[in-house]
Amino acid sequence: MANLAIFASGTGSNFVAIADALAGGPHRVAVLVTDKPDAPVVERAHERDIAVYHADYRPRRARSEVEREIIDELDRRECHMIALAGFMKILTPTIIDRFPQRIVNIHPSLLPRHAGVGAIENSFNSGDTELGITIHFVDYGVDTGPIIVQRSFNRSEVADLQAACERIHALEHYWYPKVVHDLLDHWSQGATV
C-alpha cells in the first residue's frame, strides 16, 4: 500500500480519473494539494472524502517556504509519491529533491514540443502531424524530465480543436492512472532510488 498526493489547480478531470481508478485497490489518494481553494477540483476531492491541503502561495512568499509546509503535510500523511495534474505552480528543488523520481507530471503535448501553457492549442495550430500526451518525471525545468509514456494520434483524425481536446483528455484519463498505479506498486515494494 502506498499513499499518493495529487497537486492540482483546475478542473480536476485527471484527479478524478486517478482517484476513481485507485479506489478499492491497495493504494490511496491521501491528499489533494492545491493553490486554488475555489477550483472545481476541490469539490471533486470533497465528494470523495479526500483531504484537501491549501498551499499558501500568497504574493511575496518564497516558494521554498511554501514547499516546506507542503512537505510537512505530505510527511504527516506518509505520502510516497506526488502526481501533478494541472498544478499551475512551478516546483523548486526544495520539494523535487525531497521526492527523487517520485514526482510525475502529465502534459497535453508530445514533449519536448509545446511545453508550457496552451499546449493543446499550440500543437493543433502547428504543422505537427502527430498530437498527443506525455507523462514524465519532474526535474528542475518546466515540463522537462525523463519521459515515462507518450501516446499520440494523427492530426488528420480530429476535425477541430474541440475534438483534439477531447481526444487528448481521453488519452490522459486512460494512461495517467495506469502509470501512477504502477509507480505506486513499485514504491510500495520498498524500492529505493
Residues annotated catalytic, as ranges:
107
Q: Does 19 bind ligand GAR (CB under 6 A)?
A: no
Could you count the other beta carbons within 10 Å of the beta carbon of residue 97? 9
User: If binding is defined by CB under 6 A, does position 145 make contact with ligand GAR?
Assistant: no
Q: How far is the CB of 60 from ligand GAR (least distance, A)?
A: 25
Q: For residue 27, give the DSSP letter.
A: -
Residue 30 interacting with ligand GAR (CB under 6 A):
no
Q: b/e map of 128-162 (b: 16 or more CB within 10 Å)?
A: beebbbbbbbbbeeebbbeebbbebbeeeebeeee
- Rounded Cα distance, 81 and 128, in Å: 33
Q: 26 or 116, CB closer to ligand GAR?
A: 116
Q: Does 67 bind ligand GAR (CB under 6 A)?
A: no
- Name which of 12 and 145 has its Cβ closer to ligand GAR: 12
Q: Which residue of 2, 18, 30, 85 would you call a contact of ligand GAR, by CB under 6 A?
A: 85
Q: Which of 11, 92, 94, 188 binds ligand GAR (CB under 6 A)?
A: 11
What are the CA-CA distances from residue 183 to residues 25, 60, 76 (Å)?
Answer: 14, 35, 21
CA distance 21 to 58: 33
CB of residue 72 vs ligand GAR: minimum separation in angstroms?
25
Backbone φ, ψ for residue 50 (5° rounding) = -100, 130
* Residue 10 binds to ligand GAR (criterion: CB under 6 A): yes
The yes or no reply on residue 144 touching ligand GAR (CB under 6 A) is no
User: Residue for cell digits 481521453?
Assistant: 170
Residues 157-176 that bind ligand GAR (CB under 6 A): 172
* Site of interaction with ligand GAR (CB under 6 A): 8, 10-15, 85-86, 106-108, 119, 143, 172
